[in-house]
């Protein structure tokens, strides 16, 4: 029999309206160690104003002050204006002997289309730890895509009085990382079509003469990247003139099968009319017509590479081994086969460094990478987390967010990201709302852009209690990894004490370490202080061991089925196409990679309308694809779109600029 939780209490802490830098000794590099204490004069109003209005009302600290609070030296970062900087990865080498801080991951229950405030809770927790509990803390967030920002979801800087600022810069161009990904992705796409065009219209000799032209002295040389293809072919010769006619043919002819090409062009805009296109229609292309399409930029494998690489050298290797399709003989064709791996790395060389920003209450934030969680692994970068853990140091905290519900975000955080990083989280936070739990308990549909039905605005204990089965499964699944779980109840004004207590009772019965009420959207860091205390207790009692859901040395199907079982599925059904792909990837030697399920975020199952905690369903795998450079196999569950569309009334209707002040209006 579970013990009922104590009565709800929200601790409100006093605010000192000042900023100071306090000397606390020397760091491991012999530098003066400083701690920033900032208490903003946040004019908390009710109802809470629009996010952009709150963000515009606060003047950020110079980013050099935020850097100084982390003991970063001027040569540790590059400035991008007054309020942003790129932290250089050389910091990792300098701090490699420093102890790491506590590592916290934030996920959520299965969300409504409105989102449940996961980013807001992440930021609020860090504001509480840094600005109220005097802990050294760094927030690690993904960079949002401009597609949802201008489309249906809005930005991802948090919300209310728990935001990253400058909010408009965070949600728009930031430091250009997504633009770099777009450019690199499309360079590779152009290289594919160009290579097929030239191979179709030239002899082996003509191709060889153009790929390895003689210099003024009549001597041919290989470009450095060509040695990667030669090694793949088992050719150890160092001079083009040494190649036999057969070796020349194998070297110059990739013989790409057009039907096998998986690489598509990208852009960071929701544009449904580019989901399927035809290229090669021009008369100069000599009939090289094929069907392809566009994905949104954050769905590019290059984004996943950015999130999972651990160094510049590692990124170069991952970009070079990205597979774009197969030859007609069934051999995988890589970016390095096309000779473009080095050029991709050059386009990405600045994007490799995380961007330093700040919260409304002056705590530091590292923003880096932004892979979608339903079609990719949905976590910010490994290098941002590693840099943050060194900067936070022993006794400090790093809080990173995993996309969508824990069934997607935290599962991939553990089984993909932690596998590659070697890092072990000390605590997991699962964010829940009464609104979402009512929906999972049988409440009416929640539709973005429409008023909430009456059931969500008045007390309904029956719906809440019925919906807690969704929360319970997320807790059970996350605890199975060996991690303490804190439930953060994101409290809205319409939620009653009885409803909140019902959630806390269910969370504790399901095995949560603690369940805490949060009001940081309305109050900033002071509304998440109890969450901060709970996270601290959970981290201090964590055993530092991690249980993966599956080993890597089993087959692709066995891994898929292990994940499906965690969703509640009783079986997995594979399409004929999926069966062939699994057989092909196994033959090509890729079966040892982890699995990244591409699945709807709105249900444990593949059907978005199946709420709560579905069981006994058959999970359909319609296709299986591979991100070899990033390092995972991704099965497509049901129908998944990699290019969102715009709704009838997109968010861009509200977005404009105040021409008198230059400030952005209408971002959410």
Of the residues 307, 340, 373, which one is the last residue of a structural domain?
340
Average the pLDDT over each of 239-243, 270-274, 308-312, 390-394 and give the range with the smallest value.
Answer: 270-274
- Helix/strand/coil for 295: strand
Confidence band of 628 (pLDDT split at 50, 70, 90) = very high
Looking at the predicted structure, is the pLDDT value of residue 35 above 70? Answer: no
CB neighbours (10 Å) of residue 201? 11
Instruction: Report yes or no on 9 lying in a domain.
Output: no
Q: Are 87 and 387 in contact (CB under 8 A)?
A: yes
Instruction: Report yes or no on 7 lying in a domain.
Output: no
Looking at the predicted structure, is the pLDDT value of residue 3 above 80? Answer: no
Whether residue 365 is found in the same domain as residue 491: yes
pLDDT for the residue numbered 578: 97
186 vs 410: CA distance, rounded Å: 30
Q: Are 357 and 391 in contact (CB under 8 A)?
A: no
Average the pLDDT over each of 107-111, 354-358, 635-639 and give the range with the smallest value.
Answer: 635-639
Q: Which two tokens stand for residue 130?
A: 């840094």
Looking at the predicted structure, is the pLDDT value of residue 32 above 50? Answer: no
Q: Maximum Cα–Cα distance for the chain, whole Å?
A: 87
% pLDDT > 90, the chain: 79
Contacts for 538-544: CB closer than 8 Å, 24+ residues apart: 538/426, 538/427, 538/484, 538/485, 538/486, 538/513, 538/514, 539/102, 539/104, 539/397, 539/426, 539/427, 539/484, 541/484, 541/513, 542/425, 542/426, 542/427, 542/483, 542/484, 543/482, 544/424, 544/426
Instruction: Report yes or no on 621 lying in a domain.
Output: yes
pLDDT for the residue numbered 4: 47
Number of domains in the chain: 3
pLDDT for the residue numbered 28: 53
Whether residue 494 is found in the same domain as residue 581: no
Whether residue 527 is found in the same domain as residue 442: yes
| 166: preceding bond cis by omega (within 30 degrees) | yes
Integer angstrom CA distances of residue 97 from 366, 391, 577: 21, 12, 49
96 vs 544: CA distance, rounded Å: 19
Looking at the predicted structure, is the pLDDT value of residue 421 above 60? Answer: yes
Instruction: Report yes or no on 143 lying in a domain.
Output: yes
Span 143-178, pLDDT tens digits: 988 878 788 766 678 899 999 999 999 989 999 999
Looking at the predicted structure, is the pLDDT value of residue 7 above 60? Answer: no
- Average pLDDT on 416-430 reads 97
> Of 436, 439, 478, which is closest to residue 566 (Cα–Cα)?
478
Whether residue 425 is found in the same domain as residue 509: yes
CB neighbours (10 Å) of residue 343? 17
Instruction: Report yes or no on 666 lying in a domain.
Output: no
Alpha-carbon dihedral of residues 641, 642, 648, 653, nearest 10 degrees? 160
> Of 391, 345, 318, which is closest to residue 87 (Cα–Cα)?
391
Instruction: Find the CATH number of the domain harbouring 160.
Output: 3.40.50.300
Instruction: Report yes or no on 665 lying in a domain.
Output: no
In the DSSP assignment, the letter for residue 379 is B
Whether residue 358 is found in the same domain as residue 322: no
Q: Are 44 and 524 in contact (CB under 8 A)?
A: yes
Q: Are 104 and 428 in contact (CB under 8 A)?
A: yes
- Average pLDDT on 599-618 reads 95
% pLDDT > 70, the chain: 93
pLDDT for the residue numbered 154: 66
Whether residue 162 is found in the same domain as residue 201: no
Q: Which tops the pLDDT comparison, 35 or 248?
A: 248
> Of 213, 219, 69, which is closest to residue 136 (Cα–Cα)?
69
Whether residue 78 is found in the same domain as residue 147: yes
* Structural domain that includes position 528: 17-175+350-540
- Average pLDDT on 132-139 reads 97
Of the residues 310, 340, 370, which one is the last residue of a structural domain?
340
Whether residue 184 is found in the same domain as residue 170: no
Query: Taking the mean position of all CA atoms in its chain, how far away is CA 437?
Result: 25
149: alpha, beta or left? (left if phi > 0; alpha if psi -120 to 50)? alpha
Confidence band of 19 (pLDDT split at 50, 70, 90) = very low
Span 208-259, pLDDT tens digits: 999 999 988 889 999 999 999 999 999 999 999 999 999 999 999 999 999 9
Instruction: Report yes or no on 642 lying in a domain.
Output: no
pLDDT for the residue numbered 17: 40
pLDDT for the residue numbered 94: 94
Of the residues 317, 340, 363, which one is the last residue of a structural domain?
340
Instruction: Find the CATH number of the domain harbouring 220.
Output: 3.30.1510.10
250 vs 195: CA distance, rounded Å: 14
- 631, exposed or middle or buried, with CB in 10 Å at 0-12, 13-18, 19+? buried
The H or E element containing residue 437 is helix 434-440
Span 377-397, pLDDT tens digits: 999 999 999 999 999 999 999
21 vs 597: CA distance, rounded Å: 46
198: alpha, beta or left? (left if phi > 0; alpha if psi -120 to 50)? alpha
Q: Which two tokens stand for residue 437?
A: 């739990």
pLDDT for the residue numbered 29: 56
Confidence band of 666 (pLDDT split at 50, 70, 90) = confident
Looking at the predicted structure, is the pLDDT value of residue 643 above 90? Answer: no
Instruction: Find the CATH number of the domain harbouring 585.
Output: 3.10.410.10
Angle at 306 between CA 303 and CA 310, to 5 degrees: 160
Q: Which tops the pLDDT comparison, 350 or 4?
A: 350
Confidence band of 408 (pLDDT split at 50, 70, 90) = very high
Whether residue 149 is found in the same domain as residue 124: yes
Whether residue 325 is found in the same domain as residue 196: yes
Q: Which two tokens stand for residue 559?
A: 């891994």
Task: Identify the residue whose tokens are 């019965």.
Answer: 509
Instruction: Please state, rounded to an integer, the average pLDDT across all residues of the chain.
Output: 91
Whether residue 294 is found in the same domain as residue 230: yes
pTM score, whole prediction: 0.92
Span 570-590, pLDDT tens digits: 999 999 999 999 999 999 999
Q: Which two tokens stand for residue 241?
A: 């003139």
Whether residue 34 is found in the same domain as residue 136: yes
Span 70-110, pLDDT tens digits: 999 999 999 999 999 999 999 999 999 999 999 999 999 99
| 47: preceding bond cis by omega (within 30 degrees) | yes
Looking at the predicted structure, is the pLDDT value of residue 308 above 50? Answer: yes
Instruction: Report yes or no on 494 lying in a domain.
Output: yes
């Amino acid at each position: 029999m579970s013990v009922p939780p104590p009565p709800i209490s929200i601790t409100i802490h006093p605010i000192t309206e000042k900023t100071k830098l306090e000397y606390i000794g020397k760091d491991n590099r012999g530098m003066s160690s400083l701690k920033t204490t900032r208490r903003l004069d946040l004019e908390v109003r009710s109802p809470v104003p629009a996010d952009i209005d709150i963000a515009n009302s606060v003047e950020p600290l110079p980013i050099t002050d935020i850097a100084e609070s982390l003991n970063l030296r001027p040569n540790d970062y590059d400035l991008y204006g007054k309020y942003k900087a790129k932290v250089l990865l050389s910091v990792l080498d300098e701090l490699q002997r420093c102890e790491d801080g506590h590592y916290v991951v934030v996920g959520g229950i299965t969300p409504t289309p409105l989102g449940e405030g996961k980013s807001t809770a992440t930021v609020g927790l860090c504001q509480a730890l840094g600005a109220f509990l005097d802990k050294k803390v760094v927030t690690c967030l993904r960079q949002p895509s401009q597609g949802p920002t201008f489309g249906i979801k809005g930005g991802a800087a948090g919300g209310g009085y728990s935001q990253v600022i400058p909010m408009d810069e965070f949600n728009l161009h930031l430091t250009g990382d997504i633009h770099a990904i777009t450019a690199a992705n499309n360079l590779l796409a152009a290289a594919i079509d160009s290579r097929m065009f030239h191979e179709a219209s030239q002899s082996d000799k003509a191709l060889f003469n153009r790929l390895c032209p003689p210099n003024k002295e009549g001597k041919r040389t290989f470009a450095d990247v060509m040695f990667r293809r030669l090694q793949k072919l088992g050719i150890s010769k160092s001079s083009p003139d040494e190649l036999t006619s057969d070796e020349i043919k194998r070297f110059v002819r990739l013989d790409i099968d057009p039907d096998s090409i998986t690489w598509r062009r990208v852009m960071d805009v929701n544009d449904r009319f580019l989901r399927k296109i035809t290229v090669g229609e021009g008369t100069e292309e000599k009939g090289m017509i094929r069907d392809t399409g566009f994905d949104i930029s954050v769905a590019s494998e290059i984004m996943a590479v950015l999130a999972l690489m651990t160094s510049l050298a590692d990124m170069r290797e991952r970009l070079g081994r990205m597979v774009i399709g197969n030859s007609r003989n069934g051999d995988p064709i890589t970016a390095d086969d096309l000779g473009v791996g080095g050029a991709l790395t050059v386009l990405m060389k600045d994007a490799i460094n995380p961007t330093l920003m700040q919260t409304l209450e002056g705590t530091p934030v590292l923003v880096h990478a932004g892979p979608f969680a339903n079609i990719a692994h949905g976590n910010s970068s490994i290098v941002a987390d590693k840099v943050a853990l060194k900067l936070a140091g022993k006794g400090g905290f790093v809080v990173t967010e995993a996309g969508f519900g824990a069934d997607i975000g935290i599962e991939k955080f553990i089984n993909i990201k932690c596998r590659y990083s070697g890092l072990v989280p000390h605590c997991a936070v699962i964010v829940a709302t009464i609104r979402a739990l009512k929906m999972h308990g049988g409440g009416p549909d929640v539709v973005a852009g429409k008023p909430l039905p009456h059931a969500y605005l008045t007390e309904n204990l029956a719906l809440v209690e019925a919906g807690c089965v969704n929360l319970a499964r997320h807790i059970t699944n996350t605890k199975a990894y060996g991690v303490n779980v804190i439930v953060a109840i994101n409290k809205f004004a319409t939620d009653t004490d009885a409803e909140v207590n019902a959630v806390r009772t269910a969370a504790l019965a399901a095995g949560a370490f603690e369940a805490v009420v949060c009001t940081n959207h309305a109050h900033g860091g002071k509304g998440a202080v109890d969450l901060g205390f709970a996270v601290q207790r959970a981290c201090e009692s964590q055993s530092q061991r991690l249980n993966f859901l599956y080993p890597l040395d089993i087959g692709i199907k066995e891994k898929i089925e292990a994940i499906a079982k965690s969703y509640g599925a009783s079986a997995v059904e594979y399409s004929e196409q999926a069966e062939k792909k699994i057989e092909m990837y196994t033959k090509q030697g890729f079966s040892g990679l982890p699995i990244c399920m591409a699945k709807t975020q709105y249900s444990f199952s593949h059907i978005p309308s199946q709420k709560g905690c579905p069981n006994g369903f058959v999970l359909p795998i319609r296709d299986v694809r591979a991100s070899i450079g990033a390092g995972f196999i991704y099965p497509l569950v049901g129908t998944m779109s990699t290019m969102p569309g715009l709704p009838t009334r997109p968010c861009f209707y509200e977005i404009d600029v105040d021409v008198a002040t230059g400030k952005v209006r209408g971002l959410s």
